[in-house]
Structure formats: structure tokens, C-alpha cells
Amino acid sequence: MAKTVIVSCGTGIATSTVAAKAIEEACKEAGIDVITKQCKGQEIPELLKQGADLIVTTSTLRFDPGIPVVKGLAFLTGVGKDQVVQEILDHLRD
């Protein structure tokens, strides 16, 4: 069954777009079936109701979503990108 990753940022249109694409490519390479759902921070609770395995965000979450959260800034800055990708893949492999 495919894993669901919520990818969120401030507007749900810019940084999350870059992160979602990078996550999809990394999962494809790792042979992990993934669905990414892009959104703004405020839309996370609604998407959580539909079920998700991981949240990758470039904004600050002001609540505990109950599932793992990974900071996705590296997809923009490149700083620590490999580690972040590994972290995401590790979470999805569980």
C-alpha cells in the first residue's frame, strides 16, 4: 500500500512544490510507493483525517500531529539534503 506524505509550507504552492517533487523522485529511486499531498500549514489537520504516514514541512507546525514530522528546508537550500532524504525514506520504510 502506498505511503502518504503531507508536504506543507506557508502558501502550499512554492516550497512544498519543490519538496514534493524531490520526495517523489527519491521514493521512486528507493522503490517506495508514495503519494504526496501538498498543502498550507492550516490544511494539515484536514489531510490528517484522511490518513498520512509522514509530514514534511518548511514552515513551523504549531501543534502535535501525532505522526512524524521532518523539516524540509534542505530541499530548498541544499544544506543537509542527503540526510533529510534518508530520514524521510527511513520513516516510510517502517
Partner 1 sequence: MNIKEHLAEDAILIGLKASSSEEVIRALGEKLRNLGFVKENFIEAALEREKNMPTGLPLGGEYNAAIPHVDIEFVNQSALGLAILKQDVVFYNMVENDQEVPCRLVIMLALDQPKSQIEMLQSVAAVLQDQETVSKLVSAETKEEIFSLLS
First to last CA, the chain: 12
| CA pair distance 10, 30, nearest whole angstrom | 28
For residue 11, state whether it binds partner 1 (rule: CB under 8 A). yes
Identify which of 17, 25, 83, 42 has the alpha carbon closest to the alpha carbon of residue 91: 83
For residue 46, state whether it binds partner 1 (rule: CB under 8 A). no
Length of the chain: 94
Q: Which of 5, 6, 9, 70 is catalytic?
A: 9
Q: Which is nearer to partner 1, 69 or 94 (CB)?
A: 69
**39 included as an active-site residue:** no
Choose, by CB under 8 A, the member of 34, 52, 75, 84 that binds partner 1. 75
For residue 18, state whether it binds partner 1 (rule: CB under 8 A). yes
